[in-house]
Amino acid sequence: MAVDALDTRILRLLIEQPRTSVREYARILSVARGTLQARIDRLERDGVITGTGPVLSPAALGHPVLAFVHLEVTQGHLDEVGGALASVPEIVEAFSTTGGGDLLARVVARDNGHLEDVIQRLIQLPGVVRTRTEVALRERVPHRLLPLVESVGRTAAGSPK
């Protein structure tokens, strides 16, 4: 899906001012409200915008420990194990991967003991051969997409129409 300069400006506003109204976005961008709404609808329909809810802090919810757990899975059991991961509330994301494991899960925990309990639960899932865990010490680059949006926008602005 092509993202043009106006789309980039819209996405920037949505990221920087997520609680602003569509009417205010239209005013800031000097575009008609209908045009803006149509653009937002298209960005949602095309999967560029995937959510609008609040971003929550696991630490503020009492889970300050963050770990990345690599899971090696018995061949042919990837879907089964992936489905089982969804039943573990401390797993906030999981991905199929290449490399040293088959799945990578982002796990949050109350403390190191709780993390160990979660890992033990994962090891016991049918199809899990072994796990390898890396505990995050400090966030160095928070989750962000604005630099990517700006890069895509620069590329779109420089491409021929």
List, for residues 100-151, the tens digit of each pLDDT value.
889 999 999 999 999 999 999 999 999 999 999 999 999 999 999 999 998 9
Q: What is the pLDDT of residues 64-93, one digit of tens each?
A: 999 999 999 999 999 999 999 999 999 999
One-letter amino acid at 50 equals: T
How many angstroms separate the CA atoms of 107 and 94, rounded?
Answer: 9
- The answer on 76 and 111 residing in a single domain is yes
- The answer on 76 and 126 residing in a single domain is yes
Helix, strand, coil percent values for the chain (each to nearest 5)? 40, 20, 40
User: Domain range spanning residue 82?
Assistant: 58-136
Global pTM? 0.85
Number of domains in the chain: 2
- pLDDT-derived band at 161 (thresholds 50, 70, 90) equals very low
Q: Would 77 be classed as within a structural domain?
A: yes
- The answer on 63 and 48 residing in a single domain is no
How many angstroms separate the CA atoms of 120 and 11, rounded?
Answer: 41
